[in-house]
Structures are given as C-alpha cells and as structure tokens.
Amino acid sequence: MPYSDKVLEHYNHPRNVGSFSPSDLNVGTGLVGAPECGDVLKLQILVNPSTGMIEDAKFKTFGCGSAIASSSLATEWLKGKTIDEAMDIKNTAIVEELALPPVKVHCSVLAEDAIKAAIKNFQDKQVSKSAKQSERAELVGAAS
Amino acid sequence: MLKIPIYMDNNSTTRVDPRVVEAMLPYFTEHYGNAASRSHPYGWESEQAVETAREQIASLIGAGAKEIIFTSGATESDNLALKGVAQMYKKKGNHIITQATEHKAVLDACKRLEKEGFQVTYLPVDAFGQVNVEQIRAAITDKTILVSIMSANNEIGSLQPIKAIGKLCKEKGILFHTDGVQSVGKVPINVEEMGIDLLSLTAHKMYGPKGIGALYVRKKDPRVRLDPQIDGGGHERGMRSGTLAVPLIVGFGRAAEIAHQEMAEEAKRLYRLRERLRKAIMEKLPESYLNGHPDERLPGNANISFAYVEGEGLMMGIKDVAVSSGSACTSASLEPSYVLRALGVGDELAHSSIRFGLGRFTTEEEVDYVIDLVVREVNRLREMSPLYEMAQQGIDLKSIAWAAH
C-alpha cells in the first residue's frame, strides 16, 4: 500500500516521541488500543493548570506507519491549544491531513480517543487534587 | 552495488532464472504451434517441447512423465486434487483430513466441499506448525477418502512428516495429496519414496514463470482418477482441458531441470545464509522469536517475531527490503496470520512477525545489509513503543485491561 508523503514524513521523523511522568498532576495520560489488535497509542499532555493551556505533548505508539503518523500529528496539534480546543480535534481532520485510506481510518479514531483519554485523565487528576485540597482545608479547619 | 529494495520474499514468488527465460523465448515467436495440432510440424515441435518439460518435472519428483497434468498454477492444482478426488470417490466415502495451516487454496476448496456435504477434519498443529502421523491415524474413519497435508508451509517454512503420512495412507488405502509448492525444488521430494498420490506444483516458486503449475496424479498402485473441473477438448488425459501454454511449460520444465541439478548445493548455500541472518538478528535483538520449526524447515525461510514492534510499521521502516508480515494490517481483515495463530503464537507476536524468504539470487552482502537495517529499525521502533517502555518498567502487559477495538 502506498503511503502519503505526510505519513512517511511523520513516520521517518516523528514529532514529540517520549514520556512525561504519569504521576505529575499536570500531566494527562491516554492509553488506547490493544496489542492483540496491532495498535496501542500512549498520548500525554502537559497542561498549565492556571491557564488550561496544553504546553507540551508526547507520544509513544505501537502500530503501523499510519498509527505512528496519526499520533505524531496529534501531539503537534495539541501543543498550544486549550483543553476545550483540544476536545474539538476530530479524527476526520487527521484523516484529511494525512490522506489516510479507508482501511487506516481506525488509526485516526484511536488518535482522537487517545486525546480524549489524556484530557479526561488530566481532569480526573484535577478533581482529585481539589478534593484532596478541600479535604486538607477541612482537616486544617477542624484542627484550629 | 546493492539493488534496492532487496528482494527477500521468495516464499511469495521468485525471479525467473535467466536460463529459464532463454529456454522459453523461442516458443513465443518461432515454435508457436498448438501442442495439440497433429497435422503439421509446428504442432509436433510444440508437443515435443511439452513432453520434454513433462519429463524434466517428473524427474524432479521421481514420477513418470505421464503422471504430470499441467494446470494454471498450484491453486488450480489444489482445487483439482481435492474436488476432483472428492467427486470421483464420493461413493466410497465423504471424509477428508487436512490441517489448519494449509494454504487457502486447500482450505477454501475444503469449505466448498463441506457445503456439498463432505466432512472435513482440520487437524490442529503443534507449536512448530507440524502434525504427527498419530493425529492423522486417529482422525481416519471408514469414510475417509483423502488426506491433504502440505509438505512445507509457505509462511513459517515448517516441513511435515510426509513419508510417514504417505505410509499410513497406503496402509489404510486412502489417497494422499500434498501441496508441494514450497518444498519441490528446495528439499528432496520423491513421490515413490514418500507414498504421495497427488502433488501440487507451481513454476513461479522455483524460478520459473507465473501462470503455470502442475498436478502429479499417480497412475498405478493405485491409479488415481479425478473428476475434471474444466471441461473441453480432453487435454491432459481428460483431467484438464485447455490449450497448453507451451512457452510457460517449457520454462517450467527448464526450471525443474535446474532445480534438480542444483538443489543440493543451493540448499546448503541458502541454509548458511538463512542462519547467518537469523543468528545475527536474534543475537542482536532480545525478545525476537523464530516462528516454525528450528531445524525441520525450508532452508531459505526465517519467520521472526519482534516483541513490542508492529509488523507493518516495521516493514515501513525496512522498506529497503521486500518481505512480508503476519500482521493484520497487511491484509484487508483485522485478523493476524491464521497460520501463526494455529501455532499458538499470541496475536501480539503474530502482529510483529516478518517473513524473510531467501532465494537463489540472495547474496551474503544483501543478508548483511538486511541484518543492520532490521536491527536499527526494530530498536528505533522499540524506543517509540509504549509496550516496550512498559516492559522495561517491569509492567506485565497481560495485567492491563486493554480495550480491544
């Protein structure tokens, strides 16, 4: 199957390969796919909690060239976006940008799923962080 | 100077040997008669050329020339053997025994026969992709008319105990068909010594042209009869009508002759090159696994799975070498190789498999280039793989609740 130039470009020079510490409260991690299906995407965002801006994004992907390219492109697009803007990234835009053939559309779906999973992970952490903070405040209040 | 991409997909097809091309050429433009024309020299010389090729092919497998029936290729040969025998012997019985890792030409012909009321037993294979003769003995019933077990597998190169199976079939009075597409011309195959009654062959896996194959059909002890699948002028003892493709047949014959003469030396050379490739790759890349039998396999075949790396992604990285993968992504379906699954190779490793098929024209320089390329790309993709990262951190990948999609 011939690959588009953009897929080849991302595959040969993937952007933002790597990992953030998943325990960092400002990091959201999305892990989607399954090894037995031949695709696993791990996508991470580093969010500035005061501005809600995604300052950095990294990925690691087990999959075909289109899966690698979809994740690489997703990290490029995520950087500098707010959480709300990131929620609007659609798989169809990835399909269009990379000129993915129909059999590779699922790669873009996984990339969108990974973005959403990473954002959800970040938001869950924020909720538990604020829960912890209010818990602590209550404890502090009770002690005084 | 290396020619890129390097061709290492010889289990898929082979380059036509220049000596074969040379033999074929006059039969396009000079000796173009119909081998069935009895009334003029054009026909006679074509017929003579076909008979020579028949002898060359027969001689490679220890058969008689009259036992070679030309077809369009091994898919047709497999279809003719299975359907032809089933229909001819259906009064005797309706049971066929085959195995899970056969080529689709056999499996799909069996599926059609099942629709027509035949019973088919698909034997499982062991971790090396082999069946044993006791499994076959246990599966035989008084309705069994045919056993079809390939002599070597196209994906993993594993050889089957053909001689023992042939002996059992003789003992039980059951016909024995083997798909010899991968084995003939690569390892010794002798229909007499191995008790083979029907053998599928194709030219293009042995450095001959595409579009021509043959079915060996035993003429005595027992005389095998077939219900023809193509009706017409009664060519090929009535078993396969259609004007013979004389230039292709001449090429097939020459290819068989060369294989016969050079097989012993070529097998040694290919084994040495294959082992050079396999050893270097597996030593340099931990968690790489050979699929199929370590010793009882085709000399030129190495099928290796690379944990944490997906096969199609890897093929893209090693695009300077033409290979194939057991990954689902290389086919329209989402299922990885049914052959690797039948061996019990997990889906994850099946997705990570690459088949290296070395052949007559593979050089040591090419092998060394491919070793470096594969090692470099597997390492690069592992650095990019979340599964590799998790494994390095000591996370058991099986402990994770993956969302299958």
Please identify which of the residues A12, A18, A22, A37 carries the catalytic annotation: A37
Model confidence at B326, pLDDT cuts 50, 70, 90, reads confident
Annotation marks residue A107 as catalytic: yes
pLDDT of residue A141: 61
Does B329 contact A19 at a Cβ distance shorter than 8 Å? Answer: no
Closest CA to B11 of B236, B274, B275, B309: B274
Residue A18's contacts (CB-CB under 8 Å, 6 or more residues apart) are: A58, A59, A60
Model confidence at B333, pLDDT cuts 50, 70, 90, reads low
pLDDT digits 0-9 by tens, B266-320: 999 999 999 999 999 999 999 999 999 999 999 999 999 999 999 889 999 999 9
pLDDT of residue A80: 95
Of residues A31, A65, A103, nearest to B313 (C-beta):
A65
Residue B373: burial class (beta carbons within 10 Å; 0-12, 13-18, 19+): middle
Is A28 in a helix, a strand, or coil? Answer: strand
Is A47 in a helix, a strand, or coil? Answer: strand
* B144 vs B400, more confident: B144
Element (H, E) at A91: helix A91-98
3-state SS track over chain B: CCCCCEECECCCCCCCCHHHHHHHCHHHHCCCCCCCCCCCHHHHHHHHHHHHHHHHHHHHCCCCHHHEEEECCHHHHHHHHHHHHHHHCCCCCCEEEEECCCCHHHHHHHHHHHHCCCEEEEECCCCCCCCCHHHHHHHCCCCEEEEECCCECCCCCEECCHHHHHHHHHHHCCEEEEECCCCECCECCCHHHHCCCEEEEECCCCCCCCCCEEEEECCCCCCCCCCCCCCCCCCHHHCCCCCCCHHHHHHHHHHHHHHHHHHHHHHHHHHHHHHHHHHHHHHHCCCEEEECCCCCECCCEEEEEECCCCHHHHHHHCCCEECEECCHHHCCCCCCCHHHHHCCCCHHHHHCEEEEECCCCCCHHHHHHHHHHHHHHHHHHHHCCHHHHHHHCCCCHHHCCCCCC
Q: Give me the residue label for tokens 């003789």.
A: B170
Pairing state between β B301-306 and B288-291: antiparallel
Does A37 contact B346 at a Cβ distance shorter than 8 Å? Answer: no
- Residues B350, B101: Cα–Cα separation, whole Å: 14
Q: Are B92 and B145 in contact (CB under 8 A)?
A: yes
Does A62 contact B389 at a Cβ distance shorter than 8 Å? Answer: no
Reported pTM: 0.91
**Which residues from chain A sit within 8 angstroms of residue B383, using beta carbons?**
17
Model confidence at B329, pLDDT cuts 50, 70, 90, reads low
Work out the mean pLDDT of chain B and round it to a whole number.
Answer: 95
pLDDT digits 0-9 by tens, B69-109: 999 999 999 999 999 999 999 999 999 999 999 999 999 99
Interface of A with B (CB under 8 A): 3, 8, 11, 14, 17, 19, 31-42, 60-65, 67-68, 103, 106, 110
Of residues B316, B317, B386, nearest to A62 (C-beta):
B386
pLDDT of residue A43: 97
**Which residues from chain A sit within 8 angstroms of residue B311, using beta carbons?**
38
Of residues B310, B347, B389, nearest to A64 (C-beta):
B310
Element (H, E) at A94: helix A91-98
pLDDT of residue A38: 86
Position B44 pLDDT exceeds 90: yes
Model confidence at B405, pLDDT cuts 50, 70, 90, reads low
The pLDDT > 70 percentage for chain A reads: 94
Residue B165: burial class (beta carbons within 10 Å; 0-12, 13-18, 19+): buried
pLDDT digits 0-9 by tens, B114-137: 999 999 999 999 999 999 999 999
Model confidence at B398, pLDDT cuts 50, 70, 90, reads confident
The pLDDT > 70 percentage for chain B reads: 97
Model confidence at B221, pLDDT cuts 50, 70, 90, reads very high
Quick one: tokens of B306? Answer: 């690379």
Per mean pLDDT, which range of B40-44, B129-133, B327-331, B397-401 is the poorest? B327-331
Residue type, A62: F
Q: What is the pLDDT along chain A (144 residues), one digit of tens a residue?
A: 678 999 999 999 999 999 999 999 999 999 999 988 889 999 999 999 889 999 999 999 999 999 999 999 999 999 999 999 999 999 999 999 999 999 899 999 999 999 999 999 999 998 887 877 777 777 666 555
